């Protein structure tokens, strides 16, 4: 077995394949994942796993230099917005409209579908570089 870090085999692969500026999107259960996208369906139940925990789990191993969220999150989901701000307090958080967000996210290398059931709980993690 794997000793520590990300235990999910597919997400382990996703993270280890990410290059600088590659995008990995973590989305809520209602997100319309593009037809031809590569994604892992991690949904366990309504709200499980939640958006913030999934971000933290991925951050065990993924270096992130920037994140993109929909501006609507601040207005409609302050709780998660606040947590996102805390988690990424030291890096750039770019805000786009939800429609723009979906357009950008289409170029993600991978999607992770969570059980999150609160509005606009979607984030694009832009991979950083470890050198």
Catalogue the active-site residues: 20
Q: For residues 78 and 129, which CB has a smaller minimum distance to a copy of itself in the complex?
A: 129
> What whole-number distance in Å separates Cα of residue 68 and Cα of residue 89?
13
Q: Which two three-digit tokens encode residue 88?
A: 């990424």
Q: Which helix (H) or strand (E) holds 81?
A: helix 78-87
Annotated binding residue 86: no
Could you tell me the smallest distance in angstroms from the CB atom of residue 105 to a copy of itself?
11
Indicate the SS3 state at residue 119.
coil
Could you tell me the smallest distance in angstroms from the CB atom of residue 117 to a copy of itself?
4
Annotated binding residue 107: no
DSSP tag of 48: B
Annotated binding residue 98: yes
Could you tell me the smallest distance in angstroms from the CB atom of residue 74 to a copy of itself?
18
Q: For residues 50 and 84, which CB has a smaller minimum distance to a copy of itself in the complex?
A: 50
Query: Where do contacts with a copy of itself occur on this chain (CB under 8 A)?
Result: 1-10, 12-13, 15-22, 27-33, 35, 38, 40-46, 48-49, 53-54, 57, 61-63, 109, 115, 117-119, 127-131
Sheet holding 23-27, edge to edge: 39-41, 110-113, 23-27, 123-127, 64-70, 92-96
Annotated binding residue 122: yes
Cβ within 8 Å of residue 7, ≥6 positions away: none
Cite the annotated binding site for substrate by residue number: 28, 98, 120-122
């Amino acid at each position: 077995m794997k000793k520590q870090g990300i235990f999910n085999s597919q997400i382990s692969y996703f993270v280890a394949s990410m290059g600088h500026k590659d995008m990995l999107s973590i989305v809520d259960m209602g997100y319309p994942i593009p037809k031809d996208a590569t994604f892992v369906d991690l949904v366990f139940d309504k709200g499980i796993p939640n958006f913030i925990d999934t971000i933290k789990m991925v951050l065990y191993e993924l270096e992130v230099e920037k994140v993109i969220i929909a501006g609507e999150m601040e207005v409609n989901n302050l709780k998660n917005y606040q947590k996102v701000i805390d988690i990424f307090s030291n890096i750039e958080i770019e805000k786009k409209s939800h429609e723009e967000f979906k357009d950008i996210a289409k170029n993600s290398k991978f999607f992770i579908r969570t059980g999150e059931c609160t509005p606009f709980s979607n984030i694009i993690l832009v991979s950083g570089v470890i050198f």
